[in-house]
Amino acid sequence: MKNWELLINQGRDAYSEERFNQALSINQNAIEIALNLFDNVFELEPERAVAAVVISYFNIADTYIALNSWSSAQQALEQASLFLQKQFSCLFLSEPQQVALLHAASHLRIEWASLIQKSSAATAATHQSPPVMIKEQQAIQKYNQ
């Protein structure tokens, strides 16, 4: 996880310096590492394993937002949603694993709301049709099933 943490910090630095394409590339590398390590880390440190994956997806979405690529930001959040759905479908989850997944799902809901708000603000500023039509309620319902 050290390599993941290093990449996340580098991605944040690039993002804060408005080097968005570089930040995107770094965060895409971070998600690969997080996904590759997930199964091993999830057994012993579920909160850390889940957080690494969803934070990586959230950082990718935020970077796409900064690049005004609304549909790509939506896709990043959809990938986070699919990842969580896959984990929820496992039959034998410990209580800490369930809590970690629910915590991440709660944060995902906040990220969806943020994307909707930012997308709406961009739409209002440009007087164009909405760049993203997100079905937040459907995503939430999937977690409640």
pLDDT at position 128: 47
107 compared with 126, residue with greater pLDDT: 107
User: Which pLDDT band, with edges at 50, 70 and 90, does 145 fall under?
Assistant: low
Q: Are 65 and 118 in contact (CB under 8 A)?
A: yes
Q: Please determine, for residue 139, whether its predicted confidence score (pLDDT) is greater than 50.
A: no
Domain extent at residue 49: 2-144
Contact indicator for 108, 84 with CB cutoff of 8 Å: yes
What is the reported pLDDT for 35?
Answer: 96
- Residue 7 pLDDT: 95
User: pLDDT tens-digit profile of 71-106?
Assistant: 899 999 999 999 999 998 887 899 999 999 999 998
53 phi-psi bin (left φ>0, alpha ψ -120 to 50, beta other): alpha
Residue 129 in this model has a pLDDT that exceeds 50: no
CATH number at residue 135: 1.25.40
Structural domain count, the chain:
1
| 23-32, 106-115, 136-145: the lowest-pLDDT one | 136-145
More confident residue, 68 or 141: 68
Mean pLDDT value across residues 113-121: 78
Amino acid 133: pLDDT: 40
- Sort residue 68 into left (φ over 0), alpha (ψ -120 to 50) or beta: left
Kindly state the DSSP code that residue 91 receives in the 8-state scheme.
S
pLDDT for 28 beyond 90? yes
Mean pLDDT in the chain? 85
pLDDT for the residue numbered 40:
93
